[in-house]
Amino acid sequence: MPYIPEILIPPFICALILALVLSIYSIFVVVKRWAFLSVGVSHAAFGGVALGYMMGVSPEISAGLFAAIAGLLIAFSHRRGNLSEDASTGVIFSTFMALGVVLFSISKTYMSDVFSYLFGNMLAVGWRDVWLSMGVAAVSFAFLLAFKRGLFLSIIDEELAHTCGVPVVPLYYGLVLLFTTSVVISIKLLGVVLVSCLTVIPASVGFAFSSRIGGIMAISVATGILVVLAGMLISYATDLPPGATTALVGGFVFTLSLLKR
């Protein structure tokens, strides 16, 4: 492995943590068909980033609030508004994204800042982001371990889960909120446009090689870590955006997995 400067240690640690978390959520994304949800949430967070710059507050905080609101609105409109998740996601993410474009245009923010949030920037990630990602990972794992039976039963057959006494609705909202938070934490590293590569590709590869949930999860995690490590190393070596290189590696790995199908 090539020498990595000390300033790039936090991004690499953060990338590994987020790869682990998102690779597990990736199973729910693939089974529940939430691929568009992850795209919608990350794009909705762009409006929060713009608002943070305009108001002089931390873009991470405003982006997190925007993404959480977007995720809960999507979940609510799906469960109570009789809309499919992709339809409600399309409406909400386009509205929030448009707001971000308007706010960035008004604030005259440097295009380099916008480019950083769209496609990722390793140098923007510090130890604060590492601790934050660790916290999100800890809460996510606690939630998944505490309710794993109910969660997996819900994604297989929601009506059966409800009949068995599983609190389907609270678990659904909790899963959406934690998944949304994990996506937002990843934006600074991978960018708004390309963060969804880690929410779809790992489990897609896992399902190609295994039919057991344990095997799918193990392959998904291994794929996520491999993709993000390779993507970060290529980004460091070529000075290209980490989101783009990670997505390209992920697309290559997924293409190879198609040979197994």
Give every CB contact of residue 95 below 8 A, 6+ residues apart in sequence. Answer: none
CA distance 252 to 258: 10
Predicted confidence at residue 110, as pLDDT, reads 56
CB 125 within 8 A of CB 185: no
Complete DSSP assignment for 178-216: HHHHHHHHHHHHH-TTTTTHHHHHHHHHHHHH-SSHHHH
One-letter amino acid of 86: D
φ and ψ at residue 147, rounded to 5 degrees? -125, 25
CB 100 within 8 A of CB 193: no
Q: Is the dihedral of CA 15, 20, 22, 23 positive or negative?
A: positive
CA distance 131 to 135: 6
Predicted confidence at residue 4, as pLDDT, reads 62
φ and ψ at residue 166, rounded to 5 degrees? -75, 130
pLDDT tens sequence for the chain (261 residues):
455 677 788 888 999 999 999 999 999 888 887 777 777 788 788 788 878 777 777 777 888 888 888 888 887 877 776 666 677 777 777 888 888 778 777 766 555 566 777 777 787 788 888 998 999 999 999 999 999 888 888 877 777 888 888 888 888 888 888 988 888 888 888 887 778 888 899 999 999 898 888 899 999 999 999 999 999 889 888 888 888 899 999 999 999 988 866
Residue 129 structure tokens: 């982001």
Nearest residue to 247 via CA among 237, 238, 230: 230
φ and ψ at residue 113, rounded to 5 degrees? -65, -40
CA distance 52 to 117: 12
> Domain 7-194 class?
mainly alpha
Nearest residue to 206 via CA among 225, 196, 219, 222: 219
| Cα–chain center distance at 75 | 16
